Amino acid sequence: MQFSPKLICFKGISILTLLFMFMLPQYSLAQGDDIRERLDEIERELLDLHLKQTDKTSVTAFDSMRLDLGGFITQTFTTTFNGDSPDRSSFDQTNFELLMGADVTDRDSLFIALGFLRQADLVNEAGLDVEQRKFADHANRIPGIIMWGRHDFDELLDVTYGRWITPWGIINREHFPPVLMNLSQPQYLRAVQPGNLFGGNTIVPNFLDGIQAHGSKYFGDYQAEYFAYVGNFDGSGSGPSDFISGARLMGALPNRIFTIGFDYQNGVRAVSGAQDSHYDAWGVDALIDYKGFLLKSEYLRSNERGATGNKESWYIQPSYTRGKFVLFYRWDVIDTDLDTVNDSAEQTEHVFGVNYFLQPTVRLRAEYVLNRFNLNEDNNGKKRDYDNIQLSITTSF
Amino acid sequence: MMTKHLVMGFVLIVLFASNSYGEPIVFIVNKDNPIASISNSGIQKIFLKKIKRWDSGEKTVPINLYNNTLVKRDFVSSILGMILHEYDQYWLGVKQRTGETEPRVVKSSKFVLKIVSVNKEAIGYLPEKYFNKLGRSSREKIKVVGIAR
C-alpha cells in the first residue's frame, strides 16, 4: 500500500475535522455551562436585591457613598419582690432605636442612633421609704442618643464631633442592648436616682457632646489605642457651660486575649443649693477573652472638691458562652459617698443571668438580681434589700 | 469490643471533621496592588476593619463570602479565630457602636474573583481547589498575597 502526499494530507484533514467535531461541542458545552452558571448567579443576586427592595422605590442615599440603616427593639418585664416594699411587676421598658450610618467620602462618615423609648422607671429604688418604691407612669422619650460625624486622617488619628459614647471602661463602650448580656449596665453607669435616663447624675457621663480624638497602632499583633476628648454633659449632673475632659489608654495582647485600659476624667457636677463640685475620676479595667470564657472588670474612683462626696465603684463579671447559651454573674459595688461609712449611698448588686440566642440577632435574657444595701433599714425600720427578676428580649436588624 | 468500636468511630468522626474543614485558603488582591504578601494577622485586621487602609493610603476593600459557604467557615475559624456565631456577634456590636458593617458579602468565589480583578483596593479569598482551576487570563488580573493551610 502506497501513501501519496495527497492522500496523507486528505487523511490528516479528515482526522482533524473529526477531532474538531468531537472537541468543539465539548468546549462549547463547557463554555455554555460556565455562562449559564454565571447567569444563574446574577439572577439570584437580582432576586435578592428585588426581595430586599420595597415594591415602591429603592432608597436614594443623597450624597453619601454608603448608607446603612439598622436598629433594635427591646422589651423587658421586671418584677420586684422579697423585701418589705410591696411586690411590683411591669412591662417596664419598650425601647426602639434606629441606627443610621453613612460614608460621605472615603474619609468622612457619620452615625446616628435615635431612641424611641417608653419606660416606667423604678422610682425610690434606693430611697429611705421602701413603701414608695414603685414603677412610675410610663413615659415616652425620644432622645438623640448618638449623633456624630468623623474625619479619618489615618490609623493614628480620627476626629469625632457631635454626641458620642464616653470612651470610658468596657461596658459603657459596648452600651447597646443587642450586645449586652445583662440589660442593666453596672451601677456606676446608671443614674443613681432613676428618672433621668440619658441625663442622670452618673459618676461619669454615659455620653458627651463635644470633640474626640482617637487612634490606634499595632506593634506586630499587640495593639495600643487612645482616646482624648472634651465636651459638655448638660444633664442633671452639670451645666451647658461646664466642660468635661478626659483620656483613655488601652493595650491589647494578640487576639484580644487580654486587654487593659486606664481612664481619667475631669469635670464639674452641679449641686442644688450649693456651689458646683469639681471632680477628678480615674479608672482601670481589664478584659480576658479566651475560648468562650470572658471576664470583664472595672474599678473607678472620683475625688470631689465641693459639696459632693468622693465616689468609688467596681464590678467583676465572669461569663461563659457555649453554643447559643451565655451564663454570667456580676458582683457590682458602688459607694457614692466614701466619706460617710455605712450610709445609704453604699449598695451591692449580685446579678445571675442566662442568655439564649434564638438567632444571632435575637437575644433572650433572664436575670435574677439581689439588691443589697449597706444601710439596710429605711426611715421606718423596714428592710431596704429586695430582689428582682428581669426577663427581656432584643431583636436587632 | 464495644469500647474499641466507639473509639474507632470517634477517631473516624474526628478525621472526617478535620478533612471537611481543612481546605487551604488563597488570599488574593488586584495585580496593581503594590503589596507583595500579607500575614494572617494582617488579613484578620483588614477583615475585622481594624485596619482600613493599605500602606499606600488607599482604603482597603475586603470581600467576604456568605456564611453558608465552607470556605467562609474555614476562614472565620482559622484566620479570625472565631466561630460563625461569635463572628456575627462581633459585627452586631460594631454596627451598634459605630454604624460600621461587615465587609461586602458575595455569594460565590466567582464574584470574589471578579471584584478583586477590577478593584485595585480589594482583597478576597478563594478555596485553593478553585484557585488551582483558574485559567491564565483570570490569574493575570490578580496576585496571591497569602495562603492559609
| pLDDT tens digits for range A267-294 | 988 776 677 788 999 999 999 998 889 9
Note whether A258 and A287 are within 8 A (CB). Answer: yes
Q: Do A255 and B81 touch (CB under 8 A)?
A: yes
Q: Is the pLDDT of residue B16 over 50?
A: no
The three grid cell numbers given for residue A137, joined into one nine-digit string: 407612669
pLDDT, mean of residues A379-390: 90
C-alpha cell at B32: 496593581
DSSP string, chain B: -HHHHHHHHHHHHHHHHHHHT---EEEEEETT-------HHHHHHHHTTS--B-TTSPBPEEEEE-TTSHHHHHHHHHTS---HHHHHHHHHHHHHHH---PPEEESSHHHHHHHHHH-TTEEEEEEHHHHHT--HHHHHTEEEEEEE-
Q: Do B92 and A360 touch (CB under 8 A)?
A: yes
Q: Which pLDDT does position B12 carry in this prediction?
A: 47
pLDDT bracket for residue A263 (50, 70, 90): very high
- Which of A190-204, A266-280, B47-61, B71-85 comes out lowest in average pLDDT? A190-204
Find residue A393's DSSP bridge partners: A75, A364
The CATH class of A66-396 is mainly beta
What is the band of A106 on the pLDDT scale with cuts at 50, 70, 90?
confident
Q: Is the Cβ pair A223, B50 closer than 8 Å?
A: yes
Mean pLDDT of the region A220-227: 93
**Partner B contacted by A96 (CB < 8 A):** no
- Chain B contact for A356 (CB, 8 A cutoff): no
Q: What is the mean pLDDT of chain A?
A: 86
Q: Which of A101-105, A165-169, B84-88 tops mean pLDDT?
A: A165-169
Strands A108-119 and A258-271, bridge-based pairing: unpaired
Q: Which of A47-61, A279-293, A341-355 has the highest mean pLDDT?
A: A279-293
Answer positive or negative: Cα dihedral of B72, B73, B76, B78: negative
* A39: confidence class by pLDDT, cuts 50, 70, 90: confident
Using the Cβ of A152 and the Cβ atoms of chain B, whether some distance falls under 8 Å is answered with yes
Contacts of B111 in chain A (CB under 8 A): 41
Asked if the ipTM is above 0.85, the reply is: no
Residues of B with CB under 8 A from a CB of A: 41, 45, 50-53, 57, 59, 81, 85-86, 88-89, 92-93, 95-101, 107-108, 110-111
Tell me, yes or no, if A20 comes closer than 8 A to chain B by beta carbon: no
Mutate to test the interface with A, among B58, B98, B109, B117 (most CBs of A within 10 A): B98
Q: pTM to 2 decimals? A: 0.79
The answer to whether residue A305 neighbours chain B at the CB level (below 8 Å) is: no
Q: For residue A274, give how far its alpha carbon lies from the nearest alpha carbon of chain B (Å).
A: 37
Q: Tens digits of per-residue pLDDT, B67-95?
A: 888 899 999 999 998 888 889 888 988 88
| A151 touching B (Cβ < 8 Å) | no
Give me the sheet containing B61-65, strands edge to edge.
Answer: B104-106, B61-65, B122-127, B25-30, B142-148
**B143 to chain A nearest CA, in Å?**
23
The yes-or-no verdict on residue A56 having pLDDT over 70 is no
